[in-house]
Structure 1
Amino acid sequence: MTATLVRRATVDDAPAIAHVHLQSWRETYGPVLPADVLAGLDLDARTARWQAILDEGRSTIHVAVAGGEVVGFASAGDRPDEGGPAPRELEGLYVLARHHGTGEAARLLAEAVGHGPAYLWVWRNNARAIAFYAKHGFVPDGAEDTHTVSGHPIPAIRMVRT
């Protein structure tokens, strides 16, 4: 595997982030979402959304680049006034399946939220992700929610690191 660079994302990264986002969903959410929903995810719409997110600057976004290709990303934001259990929320962390176990996700996590208090939401049945976050000090705090994608519910749990 090629050495990976983790850096702040720019608006020029929006298409690559959108690709990783959708591919990661296809690799991860097959047990939850119907195949036609996953196949129908719109890359152009997701790219436009990531361009808007990067333009807004409300979130901090980092990318992992290996061999000139974006292979993962993390997005996080400060939430001091929104009543969350910690001041920083990990909004998303995705790494292509072929890069699982390389340490790229850990590096992205560290860049996104540091080593201090933070929280995140994770699909309740995503044992791999839950174990990864637990390894990095996050524990479920009992909060649950349901995120809906194309009309399909994805039950989620909140994990917190204090």
Structure 2
Amino acid sequence: MDFTLRAPEPKDIEALAQLHTQCWKQSYAHLLPADYFTAQRLESRRLLWGRLIGDENPKLRRVVAEEKGELVGLALAGPSLDGECQLQLYSLYLLAQSHGTGIGQALFDAVLGAEPGMLWVARDNPRATAFYLRNGFAFDGAEKADPEVPQMIELRMLR
């Protein structure tokens, strides 16, 4: 499979919002209420990616995967949001059509590589969990629920 990794640019904001939303639908539709994917949710993704692309923090790592001119994946990492000094993988999403192609691993390597780090993964996301276990992460016993989506329990993994 032929793909390119690159930094996201302002021209990518709409495509990133769409991609992020589509990946959530593919990964979490079974955990979310049917009315979760609203126009407001998509707009919040546009605003999020506008902020992330414009953020000049040198510790923030943003990468997108492009295939045949279309964005198919994204990865985002930076300082831990839990107050710890280690690196945190915030997001790693790939369209289902690109699973198993090596793009997800390339995205992961681009933002985290072999560095120690932490991440949160949905308990009911076995594909992602298996990926992170293969990359040396292990559960540490911590869990949390998003107040907006309390049925989605996330488990912390460390490496």
Please report the TM-score for the alignment, with normalisation by the length of structure 1: 0.88
Change (3 A) 1:144 1:40: same
Alignment CA distance shift 1:53-1:144 (3 Å): same
Show the counterpart of 1:89: 88
The more displaced of 106-115 and 38-47 is 38-47
Distance 1:15 1:139, change over 3 A: same
Alpha carbon RMSD of aligned pairs, Å?
1.9
- Superposed displacement of residue 48, structure 1: 2.0
Change (3 A) 1:48 1:130: same
Instruction: Decide whether the 8 Å contact of 2:80 with 2:118 is kept in 1.
Output: no
- In structure 2, list runs of 5 or more residues that go unmatched: none
Matched-pair identity in %: 36
- Partner of residue 71, structure 1: 72
Counterpart residue number, 2:63: 62
d(CA) in 2 for partners of 1:114, 1:14: 25
| 2:6 corresponding residue in structure 1 | 7
Alignment of 1:38-53 (within 5 A): 38=37, 42-53=41-52
What is the match of residue 129 of structure 2? Answer: 130
Gaps of 5+ in 1: none
In the TM superposition, structure 1's runs of 4+ consecutive aligned residues that sit over 2 Å from their partners are 38-45, 78-81
Aligned 8 A contact 1:27 1:97 in 2: yes
C-alpha distance in structure 2 between counterparts of 1:132 and 1:148, whole Å: 26
TM-score by length of 2: 0.90
Q: Secondary structure at the match of 2:91?
A: strand
- The question of whether the paired residues in 2 share the 8 Å contact of 1:72 and 1:96 is answered with yes
Instruction: Give the Å deviation of 1:57.
Output: 3.0
- Tell me the amino acid that sits aligned with residue 42 of structure 1: R
